[in-house]
Amino acid sequence: MTFQVVFLLVIRRLIWYNSFTKKSARIFTDSYIKKIIIIGSCFFTMDITEIITNLVFQLAIIIFAARIFGKLAARVGIPSVLGELIAGIIIGPFALGGIALPGFPNGFFGVTDSAAGAVSSELYAFAQIASIILLFASGLETDLSLFIKYSVSGGIIGVGGVLVSFFFGAGCAMFILPILGIECSGLFDIKCLFLGIMSTATSVGITARILSDRKKMDSPEGVTILAAAVFDDVLGIVLLAVVMGIVGAMGSGQTLSGGKIGIIALKAFGIWLAATVIFILLSKKIARFVRFFGDATDFSIAALGIAFFLAGFFEKQSIAMIIGAYTTGLALSGTDIAPVIQEKIHSLYKFFVPVFFAVTGMSVDVTKLFSQKVLVCGGIYTVIAVLSKLLGCGLPALGLGFNLKGGFRIGAGMIPRGEVALIIAGIGLTAKDAAGIPIINQDLFGVVILMTLVTTLVAPPILSLSLSVKGRGTRKEVSSSESQQFQWDFQNQELTQLVLDLLYRDLRAEGFFVQMMNIDDGIITARRGETAISLQTDGSRLVIETAEEDMGFIKGELYEIMFRLNKSMQSLSSLKDAQSLQQGLASAENRVTDSMTRYLNKDCISVDLKGSTKDEILEELLSLLCRSGNIEDREMVLNALKEREATMSTGLEKGIAIPHAKTNGVKETCVAIGLKKEGIDFNSLDGQPAKIFIMLASPIENSGPQMRAMAAFSGALMRDEVRAALMNAENAESVIEILEERKSIITKYRK
């Protein structure tokens, strides 16, 4: 960057001399200056290349660190977002990322000068893109119909929680700012307002998981919490829009009085409200517009493009980008393409969002995070954040038919902070006040991080403990009975997901308000009147939870879906010709034959199979397969192989059979090879005995290599020369050598 500044100053000086002196005009002609600029641009290009290279290294480290710590967090029962946040703290510039390494004098993440603070500008920009995707997904998950129509009690409790949390948080800021040595001008100081907003956020996905595990999703407390959370999210976004409008005015140098603050707040609220109303009214037209771009994947990306556009528009109005993204998702949440978009952007979400949380953690200065004053202030702010939800949500519940027990459960369910609090903290870390000083400094940022971590960790045990206390949470007996849970194992994850999607659509058609609580949690709730249903998948099992009197309805819906699927499968007459797909499978060498060498294992090869029937051969090959160390449940694998054979024989042509199966009884794709010179009847397509057997087994998830492996082996065995060589093989090593050197063998036989 220093070279760039010097170079520009030199060029500027040369151009000035060229304009005002004849002597320099003779020396530094226009063409000469152009050459200098071209040469200098090479240095600029090198600098840009270096920046991009550093970014690539940084993203690689972040991706693996976030994934590892996220999985570790989930394994010990805490939200993965906390693991990703901790990963960022550990690898950040204030910890391991600041250690000097060869080629990286400032460390992988060391930054000497960045407008984004602790991280580089380009990495910060990447994280901002991730925050837009996160809030767009959150908007899609918000049940707009529920917000407008569903629950008066949820609305009152949501509003109470937001208002009490906001003023408690802002009031707490007035107390802790002086302790941190930060000047505070009163309750409406911009720093106080920021801490007030961060106190309002709720991460209801955590609560939904606890309610589901305790079979309380359809309880009066569960329904009320989920309804209140919708109001909580929307109102928090509105408050952020107002505060960001004030920040924008401060940044432009305006002197703010109480009246001006009110006008700015009304303007920011008006912009948000107008954009939201317009987008909601035009939501169906927007849905038709994005469909113009093609299939589900294409129109989902187009919808995300609209979210980016509105995010940019809001930023231009001095309102946070994430509000525009959330508004777009909120508007589209009521359209029929919302679940499709959620599904299609899930991969983007899984890639970008952990990067955002890790980058947020990288902004934490660990030296200040564990300082005495930050720990004290963080503890005070956390206690206030917990109490504000307990009081703000619990007290209004007492006036809405709940007793103390129920009110406490509702308040506890609203305690967890999460994604939105971290996003707002990140905005405050880079936003500047009228003096050009960041609104949230490292001390305050540490306070917010502590509050987010602690509230997210303490909320589950508090809520679980309150739910374990016997007795109802309402003053009067309610009509709904204790929840029941029904599970159905479809033995196939793809089929389970298909049934869940159809059930999702049918419930919407029945007038239910259907909402996915969190794109990662995979919990779907459906509500209509007093009926509340929870749906989630666990591998190949569909888990349904609802009240006893509603279980008959949901079982009836499930039966109808299964009946329709069965009828549809019977109508697929093309299945009768499926054998034609197998014919010729081994008739031409395949492009992916090199893929098979990775699966060759001499311990899993036999040149003299003993079995004389199909079942005996399958058992023998499976014994070979077990030697790979990848078989976790032999019986499960055997049943899957036999089930596949019962559907259609895997005996091909020219003496080749490739029995295969996808099953969770294996850890990863594995292959066994067997030879039987005299052959056996394997119901092959050409009616000839099968002599060469290739058995493949793959896990249901991540089973992509199986088809490539099948194509590789069938392609290699299509040559008469290769098959003849295999039948003469004396041991496993010879089999591997023949398959690896098949091309030279073909040439040898032809000669």
Rounded CA separation 107/90 (Å)? 13
Q: Measuring CA to CA, which residue among 279, 373, 273, 372 is closest to residue 319?
A: 273
What residues contact residue 176 under an 8 Å CB cut-off, 6+ apart? 377, 380, 381, 447
For residue 205, what are its two tokens?
């996905």
For residue 540, what are its two tokens?
């190949």
Say which DSSP state 266 is in. H
Q: Measuring CA to CA, which residue among 536, 535, 562 is closest to residue 550?
A: 535
**H or E segment and range at residue 11:** helix 2-20
Q: Which of 417, 654, 660, 723 is an active site residue? A: 660
Contact by Cβ (8 Å): 244, 320: yes
Contact by Cβ (8 Å): 630, 670: yes
Contact by Cβ (8 Å): 361, 87: yes
**H or E segment and range at residue 537:** strand 531-538
Look at strands 513-516 and 524-528 and give their pairing: antiparallel
Rounded CA separation 186/173 (Å)? 9
Helices (H), 317-441: 321-332, 338-344, 346-362, 366-369, 372-398, 404-413, 419-430
Asked if 660 is an active-site residue, the reply is yes
Cα→Cα distances 43→34, 57, 444, 459, 548, Å: 15, 21, 40, 54, 72
Q: Measuring CA to CA, which residue among 504, 540, 533, 501 is closest to residue 662?
A: 540
For residue 546, give the 3-state DSSP assignment. Answer: strand
For residue 182, give the 3-state DSSP assignment. Answer: coil
Per-residue DSSP letters for 302-343? HHHHHHHHHHHHHHHTTS-HHHHHHHHHHHHTTSTTHHHHHH
C-alpha gyration radius of the chain? 32
Triad 273, 278, 284: Cα angle to 5° = 135
Rounded CA separation 614/623 (Å)? 14
Place of tokens 């290294």: 57
What residues contact residue 287 under an 8 Å CB cut-off, 6+ apart? 332, 335, 336, 337
Helix, strand, coil percentages (3-state) for the chain, rounded to 5, are 65, 10, 25
Q: Measuring CA to CA, which residue among 140, 353, 357 is closest to residue 230?
A: 140
* 3-class secondary structure per residue, 589-652: CCCCHHHHHHHCCHHHEECCCCCCCHHHHHHHHHHHHHCCCCECCHHHHHHHHHHHHHHCCCEC
For residue 114, give the 3-state DSSP assignment. Answer: coil
For residue 113, what are its two tokens?
């000068």
Rounded CA separation 357/420 (Å)? 11
Q: Measuring CA to CA, which residue among 676, 671, 675 is closest to residue 628?
A: 671
Contact by Cβ (8 Å): 618, 659: yes
Q: Which residues are catalytically annotated?
A: 660
